[in-house]
Structure formats: structure tokens, C-alpha cells
Amino acid sequence: MLAAAQRAARFAGAAFLDCFLPQFCGLCRRRTLSNQRLCADCAGLLRPRPFAYCPLCRFENERADPVGWRLGSECPVHGGVSGLASLRIEEPVLQLVHRFKYSGEKGLARTLADLMPDPGAYEEGTRPYNLMCPVPLFRTRLRERGFNQSAELGAQLEPRLGVPLIVDLLAKRAPTPEQARLAGRARRRNLLGCFAVARPAVVHHKNVILVDDVVTTGSTASACIEALMAAGAVRVVLLTVAA
């Protein structure tokens, strides 16, 4: 609780400073006039992704726009599971994500988190989510990179969404070979049972936000969703910048 309060205070402090410090566009690095993190030209290049989708089977419900989703339309096969991203997975947002993950530009966490939607805004009632957790990295990968990009995004989202972040809720039990080298089904098999919920009681009967940066094949996120559902989660929404 204390950590959450400290994070909220830091968030408020940062928002306050934003009013006075010059801002530079995260993409073209030109100075921006407002407190926006992307200039109007670059923001105009980002294409929105208006529909919710199912991360498990890629079912895209065109009725599941904000209004449709509020009416409860979900994947007909995987009830309780949905995916929500603000942007299509393409340049230039991939460029931002790449710099964030691999070039150590941790400050981009805020720029990217600001682009992420609030799942509560798409649902009946307010704040129906109980907790939030990031897609984990295996410990050797975490050591190499120095940070988990999904946890960094979650930390930025926590004060904005008002949903507590539990960083170590999911654990990756084994390293996996480079995903890019494996074809779809092998990739999926490779990850099966790879993720464990540390404290299943925390997840039981809960609505969970799973945070990741982007969804490419969706196999990693799918394995995490399956672990959360197996631990008794009622609902899991995968929240990413792009998909």
C-alpha cells in the first residue's frame, strides 16, 4: 500500500513538473508546445485500433468497439478474455517500443503508458478491475535488460487506473529459446506451462489486467492468460500499447 502511495505521489509530482519543463517529442525529438509527449505531427502518424479482440484466438469483434464492449460482447469461445490496445502494431510506435526495450530509454515508459487505454472506461460501472500484473521475464533476461518493460508500463498505469500492480504475481519458470525462430504452433507449445501464478488465492475470483508492451504473435500473453484463468481469474484483459 505504501509503495502504491509513493508511486502516486511521484506521479503527481511528475505531472506538476510537466507544467514547467519543456517537453520533447518522443519520436522526432522536436520541442512540443503543450505537455503532450508526442508532437502533433508524430501523433498524427499513429493509427488507432478501435476494436477489442481475443488474444487467445485473435477473434476481432467489430461490435466490440467501446460501446459494443460495454454491452458485454466478448469472444464467443473464450469468455472472460479480451485484449485492448490503442494502436495498430506498426511503425512508428514500434520504433518507440524498440528504443524503450533495447536502448535503455526507460523514460519512454511514460510516453508509451500514456498511449494505453483505460479498460475501466470500456466497461459498465467504474473500476471493475481488482489487480494488475505484468508479463514477466525470465530472471536471466531480466538481469540482461536491467528492467521488465511490462512492469515499468504497469508502474506508470497504476496511479492513472487506480488498480494495484503486483509485479511478481506471475513468474516465468524457464527460459524459452528465441521466439522468433519458432513457428506458430511450436512457439505456443514451447510456452505451455511456462508461467506460474505465485499466489493463486490472490487471483481467485478476480478481474485482472495483464500488462505487456505489444502483441505480435500473442503466444507469450496467451500462456500468461491461461495461467491466470487456471488460477481462478474471472476475467483477464490484456492491455498493451499496440496489437
Nearest to 204 by CA among 223, 231, 227, 226: 231
The reply on whether position 27 binds Zn ion by CB under 5 A is yes
Residues 5-24: x/- map of binding to Zn ion (CB under 5 A)? --------------------
Q: How far apart are CA 242 and CA 196, in angstroms?
A: 25
| Least distance between Zn ion and beta carbon 236 (Å) | 12
The reply on whether position 53 binds Zn ion by CB under 5 A is no
**Whether 236 contacts 212, CB under 8 Å:** no
With respect to Zn ion, which residue has the nearer C-beta, 73 or 127? 73
Among 46, 49, 52, 59, binds Zn ion (CB under 5 A): 59
The reply on whether position 77 binds Zn ion by CB under 5 A is yes
The reply on whether position 43 binds Zn ion by CB under 5 A is no
Q: How far apart are CA 239 and CA 231, in angstroms?
A: 19
| Least distance between Zn ion and beta carbon 16 (Å) | 24
Number of residues that bind Zn ion (CB under 5 A): 12
Supply the angle between the helices 108-115 and 93-102 in degrees, to the nearest 10. 140
Residue type at 13 in one-letter notation: G
Give all strands of the β-sheet with 81-87 in edge-to-edge order.
81-87, 235-242, 207-211, 131-134
Among 42, 113, 161, 236, binds Zn ion (CB under 5 A): 42
Q: How far apart are CA 128 and CA 104, in angstroms?
A: 34
The reply on whether position 45 binds Zn ion by CB under 5 A is no
Q: How far apart are CA 73 and CA 68, in angstroms?
A: 6
Among 37, 39, 153, 191, binds Zn ion (CB under 5 A): 39
Among 37, 49, 78, 187, binds Zn ion (CB under 5 A): 78
The reply on whether position 56 binds Zn ion by CB under 5 A is yes
C-alpha cell read off for 167: 509485479
Among 49, 52, 53, 54, binds Zn ion (CB under 5 A): 54
Give SS3 for 54: coil
Q: How far apart are CA 114 and CA 15, in angstroms?
A: 12
Residues 79-118: x/- map of binding to Zn ion (CB under 5 A)? ----------------------------------------
The reply on whether position 75 binds Zn ion by CB under 5 A is yes
For the chain, the maximum distance between any two Cα atoms, rounded to a whole number of angstroms, is: 51
With respect to Zn ion, which residue has the nearer C-beta, 238 or 242? 238
Q: Binding residues for Zn ion, per CB under 5 A?
A: 25, 27-28, 39, 42, 54, 56-57, 59, 75, 77-78
